[in-house]
Chains A and B, each alone.
Chain A
Amino acid sequence: MMHPDLTALLITLKLAAITTLILLLIGTPLAWWLARSQWRFKFLIETVIALPLVLPPTVLGFYLLIMLGPNGPIGGLSEAMGGRPLAFSFTGLVIGSVFYSLPFVVQPLQNVFTAIGDNVMEQAATLRASPLDRFFNVMVPIARPGFLTAAVLGFAHTIGEFGVVLMIGGNIPGETKVVSIAIYDHVESLEYAQAHILSGGLLLLSFLMLMAVYGLNRRFSVLRS
């Protein structure tokens, strides 16, 4: 039987990895659209995406709980299709984390897409590259620092999640109990030694990840030229 703290760490990392992957998949086209669209109400979408930056996580968690619960539209749909209700499940946590960390992925990508501009893409088009070809072989490599920043910020921010998880994940060991919750539990039961280990671990991990972003982005000078 694995140590419960280790289980919590693995769940945290798995949650962050899956969330980051989903965010890159939906955040890239979304950021591309935001960077290129001339639609006059685009700012409304940008506002909605930025909401998790300012809302208390408990507010976001509360609404997600209602949406994902058996009586909510998403939870109800999941049940009607023979699935489990999504509240208090790992899937529910992933959905919540995607909303919670969305701006941390979309904004760096949108910035980098805007900064690169249309010129190189048009040039690629005149050099016979199809839209997908020029996106993957011109835009993505040039935007690499933006993708790196987006991935690391999305990952790190998901690891640091607490309020949303508390509201929609509950505290089920092996399923929804993540490190931040485990630390909270340890402190509640006055187990400071364990809280130290987990907190220190999380601190070190976050430091290393952010350092990697800033260190690597310094090396890619592509955007500054």
Chain B
Amino acid sequence: MSLQVRLNIPRKDFAINVSLTVTSGQITSVFGPSGCGKTSVMRAIAGLENSATGHIQMADEVWQNSDYFRPPHQRDIGYVFQDASLFPHLNVYENLQFGRRRQAKDKRRVSLEQAIELLALSPLLNRSVDKLSGGEKQRVAIARAVATSPSVLLFDEPLAAVDIQHKQEILRYIQSLHQELDIPMLYVSHAIEEVARLSDNLVLMEKGQQLASGKTVDLLSQLNLPFARYEEAASVIDTEVTGHEDDYGLSLLRFAEGHIRVTRGQLPLGHKVRLRIVARDVSLTLTKPQDSSILNIFPAVVESMVSDGTALKLVRLNAGGQIILSRVTAKSAEKLALKPGLHLYAQVKAVSPLI
């Protein structure tokens, strides 16, 4: 099943134009600065944006085209809003039941118990919603949407109103939904860490226009996109656990022709892991260092490079098929005579597994 969306939404200052596809079993993120029109796209998919025109189709069901508009309550979606918008007159359990009771019986694939378990809500069921923390509210809102067995789950900046300690927790819940349920998900955010961590595909928006779209892993390491200019510019790599060095509490993950070591000894073999390597944690040398404290050193080839201000350069490297980014000073770049095609060694000082 896939959701296909082609939309035009007029706004006062600019028009929003997007076309995207969300496929089963995948998380697609829409990323862009605040006010770029991400939320309007989500609202239009839900049928809440009256001025939107275009074509929206879920599998073979048309939700909207030039002469048809299916009202929101007949679109098979689960929508998680920025502010949880729980119903204040109902307790947690009644909130969870609200949408599920209204869903046709033959369309119920997710049980209420499953939704409660996936978001660990059993201790909260009889609570009044005004007695919940921001993170708890958002978990209830997610479970309430999941319990309707939607054909697609829409997350509209679900972490915006959640405090920093609970953001990671909610992200883990969303990842587990992704693993347990075969529901395509669309995730809107202006936080690059969330997008880098969760999404398989990425749509980059600016002022209503779609700047780029493709695999998250590919887009984040492209030097011509705005990501490269972020302070936190980083490459993201999907890999898996291939072994351990138990004496040192390290896990080995498949990387290029060899492996990369991370300081997480307890990861099970074969476990899929997404790694984030921040560009400023990668330094370059022309000869292989023999006496470095850095464990992760890989031969690599310079693919391309761009200036990042006057003092810095961002270098895109190919390490045996894996793309990593490195941020070096312009002075170092000149000293090493960096240019596309140059063979060198990348020293990766820090690797963060996104789990």
Residues of A at the B interface (CB closer than 8 Å) are 119-120, 122-131, 133-134, 138, 141-142, 144, 221-222, 225
In whole Å, how far is A217's beta carbon from the nearest beta carbon of chain B? 15
Q: Is there an interface contact between A120 and B85, defined as CB atoms closer than 8 Å?
A: yes
B88 within 8 A of A: yes
Q: State A124–B72 Cα separation when bound (angstroms).
A: 9
Q: State A107–B47 Cα separation when bound (angstroms).
A: 31
B81 within 8 A of A: yes
Q: Which residues of A contact B73 (CB under 8 A)?
A: 125-131, 133-134
Interface contacts beyond A129-B73, A129-B99, A131-B73: sample of 17 additional A-B pairs, CB < 8 Å, sorted by A? A120-B85, A122-B72, A122-B81, A123-B79, A124-B98, A125-B71, A126-B46, A126-B73, A127-B99, A127-B102, A128-B74, A128-B102, A138-B89, A142-B87, A142-B88, A144-B89, A222-B89
* A134 (CB) vs chain B CBs: closest residue: B73
Q: Is there an interface contact between A128 and B148, defined as CB atoms closer than 8 Å?
A: yes
In whole Å, how far is B97's beta carbon from the nearest beta carbon of chain A? 10
Q: Is there an interface contact between B72 and A138, defined as CB atoms closer than 8 Å?
A: no
Choice from A130, A141, A225 contacting B130 with Cβ under 8 Å: A225
Q: State A209–B93 Cα separation when bound (angstroms).
A: 35
Q: Which residues of B contact A128 (CB under 8 A)?
A: 73-74, 99, 102-103, 148
- Across the A-B interface, the 4 shortest Cβ-Cβ residue pairs: A127-B99, A128-B102, A126-B79, A125-B72
Pick from A128, A131, A138 the residue with the most CB of B within 10 Å. A128
Determine the main DSSP class of A at the interface with B.
Answer: helix
Q: Is there an interface contact between B89 and A119, defined as CB atoms closer than 8 Å?
A: no
Q: Which residues of B contact A120 (CB under 8 A)?
A: 85, 87-88
Query: How many chain-B residues does the 8 Å CB contact rule pick out?
Result: 25
Q: A122-B48, A122-B72 are in contact. Are A127 and B88 (CB under 8 A)?
A: no
Q: Which residues of B contact A127 (CB under 8 A)?
A: 73, 98-99, 102, 144-145, 148
Within 8 A of A (CB), among B83-109: 83, 85, 87-89, 98-99, 102-103
* B46 (CB) vs chain A CBs: closest residue: A126
B78 within 8 A of A: yes
Q: A123-B81, A133-B102 are in contact. Are A138 and B46 (CB under 8 A)?
A: no
Q: Which residues of A contact B103 (CB under 8 A)?
A: 128
Q: Which residues of B contact A123 (CB under 8 A)?
A: 79, 81, 85, 87
List 24 interface pairs A-B (beta carbons < 8 Å), by A numbering: A119-B81, A119-B83, A120-B87, A122-B46, A122-B85, A123-B85, A124-B87, A125-B72, A126-B73, A126-B78, A126-B145, A127-B99, A127-B102, A127-B148, A128-B99, A128-B102, A128-B148, A131-B73, A133-B102, A138-B87, A142-B88, A142-B89, A222-B88, A225-B88
Q: Which residues of A contact B48 (CB under 8 A)?
A: 122, 125-126
Q: Which residues of A contact B88 (CB under 8 A)?
A: 120, 142, 222, 225
Q: Is there an interface contact between A141 and B83, defined as CB atoms closer than 8 Å?
A: no
Q: Which residues of A contact B46 (CB under 8 A)?
A: 122, 125-126
Q: State A197–B34 Cα separation when bound (angstroms).
A: 67
> B45-82 interface mask toward A, CB cutoff 8 Å, 1 = contact, 0 = none?
01110000000000000000000000111110111010
Q: Which residues of B contact A138 (CB under 8 A)?
A: 87, 89
